[in-house]
Chains A and B, each alone.
Chain A
């Protein structure tokens, strides 16, 4: 039990995040003051009705977009005020993002797709090829390295996308409805993969989902409504350090 490292420092600290889209004269407040903490090695789901701001929140947490106001710290560093290049480095080194629509380069092989973050990290080609192949093997696609996206099933494409998110050993993986484009059986397989990564590699995971079953499998659920976090009776409340520690420890011992 002691060999499970639990770092209780909050990995993600978001305070009062807002995102306002201006559409001509009207304004859309996609996020209206979201504060939340996510701890290392947590597996959190974000739920909420369509249009409640889930994707917007996840994009900001993934440094793919900047909040209109508020503070977002990842590993203690303020992201909301970072320059373009710093954001790029952050996305490259610390964050893995999985999209609902996979977003693979259509004309490149699975291997080339997974290599991409390594190439931008400056990893030499032979090494990056090796690591990409290893990561694809980890997600169960060791025999599909040279397939292009259109030669893969939806589930396999999402595995490639997950491998791409994983390949640079990020601190956190963010997934926006990763099973939304998949049938339920394939969706479960993807979720199993997430569980495996979470348990074996202690990866921190935030999963946006519509599916209550998926939400139920996470340690914690954050519910959004109209751009704010709602403490819901059905979901566990935002935990204190103490509660989280107990929960995390007990879950880990449960699963062993």
Chain B
């Protein structure tokens, strides 16, 4: 018996029973397709979340007021955390800037969420963020049009404003907003620039925001709301480390500086929280991990359903196939020949069905990506997992009954009911 002969027999058997072959393949296609597409969604979600975190700014250390434990908290939305605790102030920010080494910028921010922004008769709600010139670099943002806030704007507390991309679009549409006068919480400001779009972020949507000089914010917008013991509150302080290796040291130094600024005793708890990007990543990792497990469970169920489909077809055809095996043995097929035939059949179905399933999963992923909700990416791992599992199912439900039948005396197999 040449190997070619074996393959010939198997292909002939598959072609002789097209319906059964097609149904078995369908089980594999559904199983593989669902695993590939679901895992691609999981991956896409993970990637997009990680991309957003990286978009917060590289080498970023974030300080928020109050104590934030990683396990129980939501990701920090600036200004909303630790409302009752000791606030951070612009004096804290200045102290960090002066005393922490290896940093390239410090960017305090005071945030007023849900501020009404008015241009002529159009009103929108946006976060009004009072920031310093460093903010642009520290937060990894770029100017699309016009210019960013400069030191002179700070020293004169100029009533100028830079718009996030979405805010600009909803207020001005296609028109250029540069030089226009808008009202921020009813106070007139002049638009000097528009930021490029960055996409949704962990600290509120930066595109649906307007940015004013910190000093102008204190003087014209927030007034006594921001005052704290002769200083001004800030909602969050962003610090950018010179490079990634310094991140932990910077975080430690920031902690030391703030503890001394806040006059904490040796065994007092911190009354603020310092977060590095790594910690954001680990929070996100925990969230996406759950998501992936969840999607994996759904994918597992689809695999099971596909597997049961294959099993059904196989079991229904066991009688028929047992007789077929009996007959093949009666005319001289050896046990090994029968097993090889079934193996080749299974492999053929798995390979064709597997490829079709990958294609199906890839199409679903492409469709999902096309909706723009997230970028679903097909990974080699999910493909290997899906194909491997379907192959095992096909092998078990195809080969196992066949090997039992092949071990029978031909007359018993022929009599099988």
Q: Which of A93, A103, A107, A122 is close to B330, meaning CB atoms less than 8 Å apart?
A: A103
Whole-angstrom CA separation of A64 from B414 in the bound complex: 10
Closest chain B residue to A92, Cβ basis: B332
B335 lies within 8 A of A116 (CB)? no
Q: Hey, which chain A residues are within 8 Å of B330, CB to CB?
A: 62, 64, 91, 97, 103
Q: Hey, which chain B residues are within 8 Å of A233, CB to CB?
A: none
B5 lies within 8 A of A88 (CB)? no
Whole-angstrom CA separation of A59 from B328 in the bound complex: 15
A65 lies within 8 A of B332 (CB)? no
A88 lies within 8 A of B333 (CB)? yes
8 Å CB interface, A91-134 against B: 91-93, 97, 99, 103, 105, 107-108, 112, 116-117, 119-122, 125
Whole-angstrom CA separation of A143 from B2 in the bound complex: 31
* Whole-angstrom distance between the Cβ of B156 and the nearest chain A Cβ: 90
* Whole-angstrom distance between the Cβ of B384 and the nearest chain A Cβ: 34
Whole-angstrom CA separation of A89 from B337 in the bound complex: 12
Closest chain B residue to A115, Cβ basis: B12
Q: Hey, which chain B residues are within 8 Å of A89, CB to CB?
A: 332, 334
B335 lies within 8 A of A164 (CB)? no
Any chain B CB within 8 A of the CB of A66? yes
Any chain A CB within 8 A of the CB of B65? no
A120 lies within 8 A of B333 (CB)? yes
Q: Which of B12, B17, B331, B409 is close to A66, meaning CB atoms less than 8 Å apart?
A: B409
B5 lies within 8 A of A122 (CB)? yes
* Whole-angstrom distance between the Cβ of A192 and the nearest chain B Cβ: 24
Q: Hey, which chain B residues are within 8 Å of A93, CB to CB?
A: 332
Contact A88 to B1, CB < 8 A, known contacts A105-B327, A107-B17: no
* Whole-angstrom distance between the Cβ of B110 and the nearest chain A Cβ: 79
Any chain A CB within 8 A of the CB of B150? no
Q: Which of A66, A85, A97 is close to B335, meaning CB atoms less than 8 Å apart?
A: A85
A108 lies within 8 A of B5 (CB)? no
Contact A120 to B12, CB < 8 A, known contacts A103-B323, A103-B327: no
B16 lies within 8 A of A119 (CB)? no
Whole-angstrom CA separation of A64 from B331 in the bound complex: 9
Contact A117 to B411, CB < 8 A, known contacts A103-B323, A105-B324, A108-B16: no
Whole-angstrom CA separation of A160 from B306 in the bound complex: 39
Any chain A CB within 8 A of the CB of B74? no
Q: Hey, which chain A residues are within 8 Å of B326, CB to CB?
A: 103
A119 lies within 8 A of B9 (CB)? yes
Q: Hey, which chain B residues are within 8 Å of A64, CB to CB?
A: 330, 409-411, 414
Closest chain B residue to A165, Cβ basis: B331
A120 lies within 8 A of B337 (CB)? yes
8 Å CB interface, A113-167 against B: 116-117, 119-122, 125, 164
Contact A119 to B409, CB < 8 A, known contacts A84-B334, A92-B332: no
Q: Which of B331, B411, B412 is close to A120, meaning CB atoms less than 8 Å apart?
A: B331
Q: Hey, which chain A residues are within 8 Å of B332, CB to CB?
A: 88-89, 91-93, 117, 120-121, 168
8 Å CB interface, B324-364 against A: 324, 326-337
Q: Hey, which chain A residues are within 8 Å of B412, CB to CB?
A: 65
Contact A120 to B328, CB < 8 A, known contacts A88-B333, A105-B16: yes
* Whole-angstrom distance between the Cβ of B224 and the nearest chain A Cβ: 89
Whole-angstrom CA separation of A117 from B327 in the bound complex: 10
Q: Which of B1, B2, B328, B410 is close to A116, meaning CB atoms less than 8 Å apart?
A: B328
* Whole-angstrom distance between the Cβ of A30 and the nearest chain B Cβ: 12
Whole-angstrom CA separation of A59 from B409 in the bound complex: 10
Q: Hey, which chain A residues are within 8 Å of B5, CB to CB?
A: 119, 122
Whole-angstrom CA separation of A116 from B5 in the bound complex: 11
Whole-angstrom CA separation of A164 from B16 in the bound complex: 18
B12 lies within 8 A of A65 (CB)? no
Identify which of A59, A108, A116, A119 gathers the most chain B CB atoms within 10 Å of its CB. A119
Of the A-B pairs whose beta carbons lie under 8 Å apart in the complex, a sample of 16, sorted by A's number, is A65-B411, A84-B335, A85-B334, A85-B336, A88-B329, A88-B332, A97-B330, A99-B414, A103-B323, A103-B330, A112-B12, A117-B331, A117-B332, A119-B5, A120-B337, A121-B332
Interface pairs A-B: 4 shortest CB-CB: A92-B332, A107-B16, A120-B332, A64-B411
Q: Assuming A66-B409, A85-B334, A125-B8, what are 20 further A-B pairs, CB within 8 angstroms?
A: A59-B411, A64-B409, A64-B410, A65-B411, A85-B336, A88-B332, A88-B335, A92-B331, A97-B331, A99-B414, A103-B330, A103-B414, A105-B16, A105-B327, A116-B331, A117-B332, A119-B5, A120-B328, A120-B337, A122-B5
